[in-house]
A and B are shown apart, each in its own frame.
Chain A
Amino acid sequence: MSDHGRTPDQLSRVMDKRIDRRALLRGGATGAATLSAAGILGARGAHRVGAATAQQSAECSGEDITITYGFWNAEQRPAVEAQIEAFRKQHPNIKVEPQVVPFADYFTKLQTGIAGGSTNDVFWMNGPNFGVYASQGALADLSTITGEGGVDPAAYPQSLIDLYTFEDKLYGVPRDFDTIGLYYNKDLFDAAEVEYPTAEWTWEDLRSAAEKLTDTERGQFGYGSTLSAQQNLYNFVYQNGGRILNEEGTQALLAEPEACDAIRFLTDLMTSKVSPDVATQQGNNPYQTLFPAGLIAMMPGGSWHAGRLHEANPAIAVAPLPRSKQQASVIHGLANVVWAGSPHQCEALEFVKFLGSQEAEEILAETATVIPAMNGLQETWKAAVPEMDLQVFLDAVDYSVPYPTAPTGAEWESNLNDVIVEAWSGGIPQDEVCQRAAEAVNDALKPQ
């Protein structure tokens, strides 16, 4: 079994983390034996945990080695291949094989691979899944490739670095990012003689404009209150000085007054029918139909919508999200991570180090398809749709808050979503919504 120079001390630390006392008392050994007997998870289980890479990462063997790089967006293949080619020039002995997996099945396959002891050496990670992979020891600690001559965390927005930091260690190098803005349809504003949104808008401005822009007869809504919390609810909570989860991601803070006011504000908008209802949104993705078709006047949305919204309806422009106590926008981005069980740790880390370099990020910038994570490389993306003020999304970095993530996975988000859907359909009394939301989230966060 390959252990890559892991010291006994490191191994025992790893084991401590794995097996809790309760299990040991109850005969965890019996269970493990059953499973090893069946040929599963026994020995292999141990070697994928822990991130003992400090010793060997300085010098790679120099042998000819092939590592694999997993990602989920087929449209990004040209950029990925260009990056691989540039890396190959620096490291002629390391071959990187790109492997694209459909997004819908990406994490199912990744989990199967990790459990089965064979998966990609380097792969894409996202915010909602990061917490659980990092806390369960599936990812390699990147501290050996950060700092002098390696990845410079200061070159990225701090909130992105925070997103991929777990217990003070960095496990992912940011690749790209997105922030949220307020898209609006100029034609509808002009017709209703309402002033366009500005950076100074407050929630009250948003509400009164939304009411003026709602025209039930025409089937027109003032505000598209999307079910996607990343693009809607979370931002409002942060603007009001609230939080979704506590620092460790172990408890919901949704019942606190700041967060609760945000939930109520949006529930109000929904029940007063200035937004299309939940059923309509479920049948019909508003970003693709209602909004570009001119039946929604304003809609919060991620930077990734910009190009397609403009193509679908040139009257759509963008402004910063409104503010309450402060300005805030959720920031999220993908990161490149290394599998802790990779038999080619050193080469994998070397590749991720390259992906975090100026050169690799410039290749990404040239495609103008996503916003590169590294500071100062955003101009080409911005220029791709010159008619829209895309600077809004770049300015948002300054007041951005990382996407909330918990070490138990994303179950809490679907629980929250269930409560929100019910509340927005009028199924929960206003004064119970926040409590119910917090309980539902805590339900998923408590250790099982």
Chain B
Amino acid sequence: MPGVSRQLAGVSVMAIAPVANEARARGRAGPRRQARTQALWGYLLIGPMMLGFAVFFLFALIVSLGLSFTDWNVLASPNWVGLDNYARLLSDTAFQQALRNTAVLSVPHVVLRIAFSLALAIALNSQIRFRAFYRTIFFIPVLTMPVATGTVWKWLYDPSYGPINYALGQLGLPRPAWLSNPNTALMAVVIVLLWSGVGYDMIIFLAGLQNIPRDYYEAAQLDGAGRWRQFRDITLPLLTPTTFFLVVVAVIHSLQVFDLVYIMTEVEHTTTNQFPTIVYYIYDEAFRNFRMGYATTVAWVLLILILLFTLLQFRLQRRWVHYT
């Protein structure tokens, strides 16, 4: 699309005119020196972020690595236990169960979340009536306090008297014991995650859609491309950076599900381990069962797993993500 880039170039020259004049006065540098200055600027611009990251995150991360080789129970001083915690992890069935639960939860969560939020964003990016109203409605769950979310959904899922099962009963469908049956508990948690997360992703998709130059569509229309082809050839490819971001974040988000399970599965302060996710398990081990040393081990193994997975995603993105 030559017309487009010409126009873009025009815009850019206008936008940078004052900057350029100022800079020109200072003369130009050779290519190698230029590369060195650019690198310098790079470090300078990421400097504040990386400094804060080192102080407030990396420090804690390294301490937790150290703790993963101890039997620390939080209250007394830790003892060095070498690789005991890591050895224990290999035969810990509760850990494996938590890992499996988390994986099983992640797949439908990520796929449905992206699909729903993209569909909503596209519908609400068109010239449809009342779209401000709809956008607000779909965003309401994102605004809801987690406490309220947990309380409300616990009531909705009530197996005997909740509205969901009431509706299912009216339709002659089976009425599952949502939160106490491990299979349905999974689905129940995914539904709540979707409910509270789709609006969030929708906003980001909307921002991504707004970023796609209209000219592309106009040019495509002139070429006689239909709506579907416009969607496939322009919208989808140009949204891939946004989609990639949302996929990575949704994966990480589902691996970190915690509060929700905590709120929804507790009864009268008696806890059950029926549906632990991995972070739930880490929290339990660290703070309820007084095994902080072991909990940090689990956390580190989790970190490495997610890191590998994210690396894989970054590798794969080259095949499907289009950057300009």
- A residues near B, CB below 8 A? 18-20, 22-23, 26-32, 34-35, 38-41, 45-46, 49, 107-108, 111, 114-115, 132-133, 136-138, 226-229, 276, 278-285, 287, 289, 408-411, 413-415, 417-418, 421, 444, 448
Contact = CB atoms under 8 A, between A and B. Distances in A.
24 contacts: A23-B81, A27-B80, A29-B80, A35-B70, A38-B59, A49-B77, A107-B287, A108-B287, A111-B74, A132-B73, A133-B75, A136-B73, A228-B270, A276-B160, A278-B180, A280-B177, A281-B267, A282-B179, A283-B161, A408-B290, A409-B288, A410-B288, A418-B273, A418-B274
Interface in B272-298: 272-274, 287-292, 294
B223 interface: no
B69 A31 contact: yes
Contacts of B179: 282-283
A430 B324 CA distance: 67
A15 to B, nearest CB: 9
A85 to B, nearest CB: 32
A418 B77 contact: no
Given A280-B159, A409-B288, A418-B274, A228 B70 contact: no
B225 to A, nearest CB: 52
Interface of B: 59, 62-63, 66-67, 69-82, 154, 157-162, 177-181, 265, 267-274, 287-292, 294
A285 B272 contact: no
A227 B267 contact: yes
Contact of A32 (B77, B157, B181): B77
B270 A448 contact: no
A229 B62 CA distance: 41
A35 B66 contact: yes
- Choose among A29, A283, A289 the residue with the greatest number of B CB atoms under 10 Å from its CB: A283
Given A279-B181, A280-B160, A448-B291, A49 B76 contact: yes
Which secondary structure dominates where chain A touches chain B?
helix
A138 B75 CA distance: 6
A229 B292 CA distance: 27
Q: Which 9 A-B pairs have the closest CB atoms?
A: A31-B80, A279-B177, A23-B79, A136-B75, A283-B158, A45-B77, A411-B289, A279-B180, A228-B268
A289 B180 CA distance: 18
Contact of B82 (A26, A107, A276): A26
B268 A132 contact: no
Given A137-B75, A283-B160, 8 more contacts: A23-B80, A27-B80, A28-B80, A40-B66, A41-B78, A49-B76, A281-B267, A448-B71
Given A31-B70, A284-B161, A18 B270 contact: no
A114 B74 contact: yes
B160 A41 contact: no
B192 to A, nearest CB: 14
Nearest to A40: B63
Contacts of B270: 227-229, 413-414, 417
A20 B79 contact: yes
A34 B59 CA distance: 13
B159 A279 contact: yes
A247 B218 CA distance: 82
B58 to A, nearest CB: 11
A284 B77 contact: no
B77 A283 contact: no
B158 to A, nearest CB: 4
B80 A32 contact: yes
Given A45-B77, A283-B162, A417-B272, A35 B63 contact: yes
B81 to A, nearest CB: 7
Nearest to A289: B161
B288 A411 contact: yes
Contacts of B267: 227-228, 281-282, 285
A409 B70 contact: no
A413 B287 CA distance: 15
Nearest to B71: A448
Contact of A283 (B82, B178, B271): B178
Given A285-B268, A411-B289, A115 B74 contact: yes
B78 A35 contact: yes
A40 B60 CA distance: 10
A270 to B, nearest CB: 14
A283 B269 CA distance: 13
- Choose among A115, A137, A280, A282 the residue with the greatest number of B CB atoms under 10 Å from its CB: A282
A284 B160 contact: yes
Contacts of B265: 282
Contacts of A413: 270
Contacts of A45: 76-78
- Choose among A22, A46, A114, A281 the residue with the greatest number of B CB atoms under 10 Å from its CB: A281
A415 B270 CA distance: 10
